[in-house]
Amino acid sequence: NAGVTQTPKFQVLKTGQSMTLQCAQDMNHNSMYWYRQDPGMGLRLIYYSASEGTTDKGEVPNGYNVSRLNKREFSLRLESAAPSQTSVYFCASSEAWGGISNQPQHFGDGTRLSIL
Amino acid sequence: GEDVEQSLFLSVREGDSSVINCTYTDSSSTYLYWYKQEPGAGLQLLTYIFSNMDMKQDQRLTVLLNKKDKHLSLRIADTQTGDSAIYFCAERNSGNTPLVFGKGTRLSVIA
């Protein structure tokens, strides 16, 4: 059972290049998320998808776009990479959205992205 | 908006207990979570507590919730070097919002 799989694990880009980070989950979860993690900043939510067919901005969406390709896959695109986007990117999923039941988020192992 | 605060660093000796603290602002929090992140890895769910509980114990882990003070703590008994990691507190409310995470507490265990 793979859980949440992110590809690639590492990537180095030049400023201005574009890149798509891939994320897939095999838990039949409805909700998926993209975060970035920077030293001293914790996790910041970039975009999320509460259910297939919907996406919403999180705390730091500028410079990114997302696509919820199907229930399993949620990709994050950098159209024109900037050095400020150097970070570790995490994808997560959860069974459902809102409500009062316990719905923890499950995380992938991250993509380490450096932009020169 | 909601906020979750944690101290950034904690250092303990092997065999001692560790207590990692977290405060949150959202009075409508329903579930509170503790995640562990080991170097080079993603976040792993350690435990969670529902807001109508005061305490939850799971082997070496004890979670205490003071809802009045909006304070959550994670106690790790007999801390081992393998417990060295970053620990994140997170909260969910009953509305349609994602989990809100703290900035994480880096636990260093000294042998």
Interval A57-64 mean pLDDT: 95
pLDDT of residue B92: 84
Provide the percentage of residues in chain A whose pLDDT is more than 70: 94
pLDDT of residue B95: 64
A-chain CB neighbours of B35 within 8 Å are 107
pLDDT digits (tens, 9 = 90+) for B11-40: 999 999 999 999 998 888 788 999 999 988
Choose the closest CB to B41 out of A41, A102, A109.
Answer: A109
- pLDDT band at residue A41 under the 50/70/90 scheme: confident
> Which own/partner pairs from B12-16 qualify as long-range (CB within 8 Å, at least 24 positions apart)?
B12/B79, B12/B107, B12/B108, B12/B109, B12/B110, B13/B79, B13/B109, B13/B110, B14/B79, B14/B80, B14/B81, B14/B109, B14/B110, B14/B111, B15/B78, B15/B79, B16/B79
**CA distances in angstroms from A49 to A91, A97, B21, B92, listed in the order given:** 11, 9, 30, 16
Q: Indicate whether A98 pLDDT > 60.
A: no
pLDDT digits (tens, 9 = 90+) for A42-51: 889 999 998 8
Choose the closest CB to A100 out of B30, B97, B103.
Answer: B30
Choose the closest CB to A42 out of B41, B97, B103.
Answer: B103
Contact at CB, A107 and B44, closer than 8 angstroms: yes
pLDDT of residue A42: 85
Average pLDDT of the residues of chain A: 91
Question: Residue with structure tokens 């316990």?
Answer: A102
Which residues, 6+ apart, have CB-to-CB distance to B56 below 8 Å? B47, B48, B49, B62, B63
* Pairing state between β B105-110 and B9-13: parallel
Q: How far apart are CA B21 and CA B43, in angstroms?
A: 18
A-chain CB neighbours of B90 within 8 Å are 105
pLDDT digits (tens, 9 = 90+) for B43-88: 999 999 988 899 999 999 999 999 999 999 999 999 999 999 999 9
DSSP letter, residue A59: S
Of A20-24, A89-93, B26-30, B58-62, the poorest mean pLDDT is in B26-30
Coil, helix or strand at residue A80: coil
Q: Which of A47, A56, A74, A100 to mutate to test the interface with B (most CBs of B within 10 A)?
A: A100
B-chain CB neighbours of A110 within 8 Å are 40-42
Q: Is the dihedral of CA B21, B24, B28, B31 positive or negative?
A: negative
pLDDT of residue A84: 96
